[in-house]
Structure 1
Amino acid sequence: MFAVAMGENKPKKVKKVLKKKAAVPALITTTTLDSAADPEGYYSVILGEQLDGARYQVFSSLGKGMFANVVRARTLQGDFGEAGKEVAIKIIRCQESMYKAGLKETQILNKLKQADPDDKKHIVRLERTFEHRGHLCLVFESLSMNLRDVVKRFGKDVGLNIRAVRAYAHQLFLALSLLRKLNIIHADIKPDNILVNEQKTLVKLCDLGSASDAAENDITPYLVSRFYRAPEIILGVPYDAALDIWSIGCTLYELYTGKILFPGRSNNQMLLLMMELKGRFNSKMIKKAKFGDVYFDEMGGFQSVEKDRVTGADVVRSVHISKPSRDLRARLMPPVSAKLKDDETKMITSFIDLLDKCLTLDPARRIQPREALSHPFIRGQA
């Protein structure tokens, strides 16, 4: 969300009108207080506008998400520190619920920053906050682009180099290790919410707008973006930080292949795709599930909702899955004709093993961050 958009959405740079000697550009006051937000509460951004008492000047818009829109800005000359430094500013929507969510995100980010004073755990840094015309604003360090844009630009349909994936995976598991230590769940890990630096060597987990304390275990079938949503969320099983491990597994697969692992159109189809890859859920997990009877009948058959080819209407078909019908290894290992070196073959085999452990259907048996950090793939022992 804080990344520079690519392609057609590339932000337009604002030409500087003032001479270099000018200490502070003229304050833009084009908008009135009444028009500062659109009907949905998003701030109406003006390129060149100054924020926080002329501390920052906006030079591009980076788009908007559910909670906020994000701009890029530069610090201005004066008493506020380094002039010309770029930052990303998340401007929270002007709604009471969004404002409270912004305060909660600020609290979590400050807690993470305090626990990582040397900035070694790969979570985006919140620098400060301020309010502007009724909007809470969060100021972040500026990074380059998100991993979805990286894959589109450098690995469209083919994915990234396995060594790049390993480097990114290592950094992401460091981020998860800090989250787990502080009992925080991110709850929206996906390529869009992972930023890289200009050199593409460093990644940072961002957008903690959905994050919460692990004790706040509110059952909802729509937590996390669908393609990265763990099975326990869909089934309504009490969840914990293991849901982030599932999302990381889906993300790493996508980085390496350039393709989405579980492209389900609904929660129902997501569960079917998961079982095709990992086999059936154990009966104990289904019994614990709040929504278990929505998806499984009394005989344990999965109630698959499918489109009738003739009428186009939804029809329910009972499916009994025992063994997986898809295979990670078959999907990730290159053809024999590729003639990989032994070390590369070992590395990919080790990567498949790590993914398999991240994508364990039972969250209690899923690999933990500290275990992942000692995995041969991450340690480079593959």
Structure 2
Amino acid sequence: MSVSTQTRRKRTRTNNSNMDGVNDTGADSLLEGMLARQSSFLQHNLKEGLNFADGDNHATVHNEPPFIDNENAIVDLDHTKVDAIGEEDDDENVEDDDLIFIKEQPVHFTSPTISGAGNYTSTTSKKFKKQRTISLPQLPHAKLLYQAMQETPRVQKNDELLHLTGSTSMTLDGNRNVNLRVIRSPSPSNNDPFYDSSVSPTAECSAGSASSDSDSAMGTEFNHTENVNRQKRSLRRLSAPRLAAKLVGKKAKTKKRENFKTDKDGHYVYQEGDVFGGSRFVVKQLLGQGTFGKVLKCRDIASGTGGGIDTNTFHTWNSTGSAQPRYVAVKVIRAIDRYREAAKTELRVLQAIYENDPHGQYQCLILQECFDYKNHICIVTDLLGRSVYDFMCSNGVARFPGSHVQAMAKQLIRSVCFLHDLGIIHTDLKPENVLLCDESSMEKSLPLSVVRSMSARRKEASGGKRKFLTNPEIKIIDFGSAVFHNEYHPPVISTRHYRAPEIVLGLGWSFPCDIWSIACVLVELVTGESLYPIHENLEHMAMMQRINGEPFPPHIVEKMLYKSAHKLGNSPSDLNATVIKHFDTNSLTLQWPEKNKRGDYITKEKSIKRVMGSCDRLDIHISKKIRADYGDWFSINWNLTPEKNWSLIKSKLLSERRHDGVVSGDLNKETFLFWYWFVDLCRKMFEFDPTKRITARQALEHEWFNLGILDEGITCFGKF
């Protein structure tokens, strides 16, 4: 953060110990340590990883928070205001409670302008006044930079709501150009005393090799495949077990015979210990499964790093001569034509990501290699930690601290911005598809009253403790539903809870649908609960209106009716039965709760309670969930300015102080602004009209990413 002068001032305030995990004692060293780690992280990891061509191409980062009123910078429970300018203390060893910054704030400024592709500059007045405020820390991930790959952000045009279906022929043509390496089961030779069953004459085929089935000539083939194969064969000939066996005149042990079965529906039949892929992969665990197939944790016994990023090392041997294999994730696609076809699109998406980001700096899972085995397309990637969803389920408190939400949000939006610049739409962003790079966490025992209120399942999974990640770095996975923007668009995409309104209404969808999904994920990280816990269209639409605090725009509904009447584009098969019939064609409004001709409600009471009881307007909904940290007087009203909101909070705080003498929680103005601007960002991401919804590029520049917060996510960062 840019500052002109930094001063320190001793303050005696001991009443802020109610903030979770933050005490006055050692607060100065905590902040200094955090800022030092942050600076080091940014300098050595983030900036170097961006690989800019030169310094002039760096995107300008605006880390200054919005203007903050001097007099209201801090709420002190003793109601003592911080002076406008404090006395300077040159003693660097003095223990201070807070870091006070005197910053140069522009009196007037103009809107940012684009200078080249993705480089933002702003023209400011030369007149400055000094402003004193508290600067709260941020995790380094919240400051990640992004170098735009295309001059203008990807948007959805108005006419695409009616006609966007994408080119099916482009999808099929692209898939036909995919070449897959075919691996067949080896046949051991008793005549070769040094036979290694992981190698067979047919195990590795060149890019143009023909396959035994119609799809074998399709798939992704990397330029380095042949080099990889030659290195593997060379290293195998020189491996320690073979040399030892040759010297003592004994046969080297052959690897376990392959055991890999497929059921009548084309699914691989999971069994721990199975061997496949030329006797290279040993199945250790089932990580996940779905209609596409299964994801397996496998021991890679023939490769040290795989074929994706590093092709120089394949075997690592310890002092005893035994191999040190790695573990990988292998996605085994169903042996059914339509799923194989979808897998080829996924491979083309992963190839585009790899070619533009081979080191994975944009938090997308990187493809290591792929092959065709017994009509199953197998996709090999690095093995990461649990999903964000699994971490939430095993935590005593599912909510993430605000600093972690911000760090994950920056990574998610930045990754999606990268994908959109490549012309790729993910279409299935959700906590299950966001993996943790590091599961290490700090634990805090929860009060007995909280433990008793838990479900038996959560109590058992969490052990009655709340966990805080020490590193909120994430990776986006599962590109099985991803599409290129100019190729075929299925009528229905996304998991229900994260599905954008244009998809529900049967309109054309494009890049903005990913933004809606991200907003759903962010709210879930803050509240610990799904924002849309429903399973059918009518309740989903009713909740959307309730959360947005407004009905669907009439012009959107009108486009839906027009598109359906004229049979334009592709629409969900149940659109008329589950969506259109619930709209009044005259007023263009959703009829919920439904009434019959006599005016009696026909919507079930259980449905009404489910919608009305589980959500509220977004600002109110978020306020209710985070009051556990800041007290019942915390509230956000997006119809009021930040200053007016803050004035109302102060009046409530003073009233509670006068009557009870004690205030639960602790809050300063910057912390309030952190949550206020979070709601503002989500509101822009939840725009009903996808042509007006904020883009990923615009979201990266939102005010929220200029603000920090001091919470347990900050104090736990980098502990291990």
Aligned to 1:74: 299
Q: Which has the larger share of strand?
A: 1
Structure 1 residue 332 and structure 2 residue 622: aligned?
A: yes
For residues 56-113 of structure 1, the C-alpha deviation after alignment (integer angstroms, 9 at most, x for no partner) is 2221111301211011112215784454212100000110111111111011111111
> Aligned pair count?
347
Query: What CA distance in whole angstroms lies between the structure 2 residues aligned with 1:179 and 1:368?
Result: 12
Query: What CA distance in whole angstroms lies between the structure 1 residues aligned with 2:429 and 2:280?
Result: 32
Change in 2 beyond 3 A, CA 1:116/1:338: same
Residue identity in the other structure for 1:287: E
Structure 1 residue 46 and structure 2 residue 316: aligned?
A: no
Which runs of 5 or more structure 1 residues have no equivalent in the other structure? 1-19, 320-324
Question: After the TM superposition, which residues 68-107 of structure 1 pair with which residues of structure 2 at under 5 Å, given as runs?
Answer: 68-76=293-301, 80-82=314-316, 83-107=324-348
Change in 2 beyond 3 A, CA 1:128/1:29: closer
Contact kept, 8 Å, 1:217 with 1:238, in 2: the verdict is no
Which of 256, 261, 268 pairs up with 1:27? Answer: 256
Contact kept, 8 Å, 1:305 with 1:314, in 2: the verdict is yes
Change in 2 beyond 3 A, CA 1:285/1:219: farther
**1:141 deviation in Å?**
1.0
Question: After the TM superposition, which residues 117-196 of structure 1 pair with which residues of structure 2 at under 5 Å, given as runs?
Answer: 117-154=358-395, 156=397, 158-196=398-436
Aligned to 1:380: 707
- Secondary structure of residue in 1 paired with 2:705: helix
For residues 275-314 of structure 1, the C-alpha deviation after alignment (integer angstroms, 9 at most, x for no partner) is 1121111111111114573331122231337799xxxx97
Query: What CA distance in whole angstroms lies between the structure 2 residues aligned with 1:307 and 1:25?
Result: 73
Structure 1 residue 288 and structure 2 residue 559: aligned?
A: yes
Contact kept, 8 Å, 2:280 with 2:301, in 1: the verdict is yes
Which runs of 5 or more structure 2 residues have no equivalent in the other structure? 1-239, 243-251, 304-312, 317-323, 441-470, 565-574, 609-614, 634-663, 710-720
- Secondary structure of residue in 2 paired with 1:170: helix
Q: Percent of pairs identical after alignment?
A: 29
- Secondary structure of residue in 2 paired with 1:130: strand
- Highest Rg: 1 or 2? 2
Change in 2 beyond 3 A, CA 1:24/1:228: farther
Residue identity in the other structure for 1:94: A
Change in 2 beyond 3 A, CA 1:217/1:81: same
Query: What CA distance in whole angstroms lies between the structure 2 residues aligned with 1:165 and 1:261?
Result: 15
Question: After the TM superposition, which residues 299-378 of structure 1 pair with which residues of structure 2 at under 5 Å, given as runs?
Answer: 299-304=587-592, 315=603, 326-333=616-623, 334=627, 335-336=632-633, 337-378=664-705
- Secondary structure of residue in 2 paired with 1:145: coil
Query: What CA distance in whole angstroms lies between the structure 2 residues aligned with 1:339 and 1:185?
Result: 41
**1:216 deviation in Å?**
3.3
Query: What CA distance in whole angstroms lies between the structure 1 residues aligned with 2:340 and 2:531?
Result: 34
For residues 100-147 of structure 1, the C-alpha deviation after alignment (integer angstroms, 9 at most, x for no partner) is 111110111111111113321111111100122221100011100111
Contact kept, 8 Å, 1:129 with 1:137, in 2: the verdict is yes
Contact kept, 8 Å, 2:369 with 2:381, in 1: the verdict is yes
For residues 306-359 of structure 1, the C-alpha deviation after alignment (integer angstroms, 9 at most, x for no partner) is 799xxxx97599x9xxxxx93222222222243333332221111111111111
Q: TM-score, normalised by structure 1?
A: 0.83
Residue identity in the other structure for 1:101: A
Query: What CA distance in whole angstroms lies between the structure 2 residues aligned with 1:25 and 1:242?
Result: 53
Query: What CA distance in whole angstroms lies between the structure 2 residues aligned with 1:251 and 1:259?
Result: 10
- Secondary structure of residue in 2 paired with 1:60: strand
Contact kept, 8 Å, 1:219 with 1:233, in 2: the verdict is no
Query: What CA distance in whole angstroms lies between the structure 1 residues aligned with 2:493 and 2:427?
Result: 7
Residue identity in the other structure for 1:71: L
For residues 230-267 of structure 1, the C-alpha deviation after alignment (integer angstroms, 9 at most, x for no partner) is 00001011111100000000011001111111222201
Which of 437, 441, 444 pairs up with 1:197? Answer: 437
Contact kept, 8 Å, 2:294 with 2:331, in 1: the verdict is yes
**1:50 deviation in Å?**
2.4
Aligned to 1:263: 533
Change in 2 beyond 3 A, CA 1:94/1:246: same
Decide which moves more: 194-203 or 242-251: 194-203
Choose between structure 1 and 2 for higher RCO, CA contacts under 8 A separated by at least 6 residues.
2
Query: What CA distance in whole angstroms lies between the structure 1 residues aligned with 2:604 and 2:691?
Result: 30
Question: After the TM superposition, which residues 7-26 of structure 1 pair with which residues of structure 2 at under 5 Å, given as runs?
Answer: 26=255
Contact kept, 8 Å, 1:155 with 1:258, in 2: the verdict is no
- Secondary structure of residue in 2 paired with 1:364: coil
Query: What CA distance in whole angstroms lies between the structure 2 residues aligned with 1:130 and 1:330?
Result: 51
Query: What CA distance in whole angstroms lies between the structure 1 residues aligned with 2:374 and 2:314?
Result: 21
**1:188 deviation in Å?**
0.7
- Secondary structure of residue in 2 paired with 1:72: strand
Contact kept, 8 Å, 1:227 with 1:264, in 2: the verdict is yes
**1:155 deviation in Å?**
5.6
Change in 2 beyond 3 A, CA 1:60/1:293: closer
Contact kept, 8 Å, 1:306 with 1:316, in 2: the verdict is no
Q: TM-score, normalised by structure 2?
A: 0.45
Change in 2 beyond 3 A, CA 1:194/1:182: same
Contact kept, 8 Å, 1:219 with 1:238, in 2: the verdict is no
Change in 2 beyond 3 A, CA 1:77/1:89: closer
Residue identity in the other structure for 1:194: V
Change in 2 beyond 3 A, CA 1:215/1:24: farther
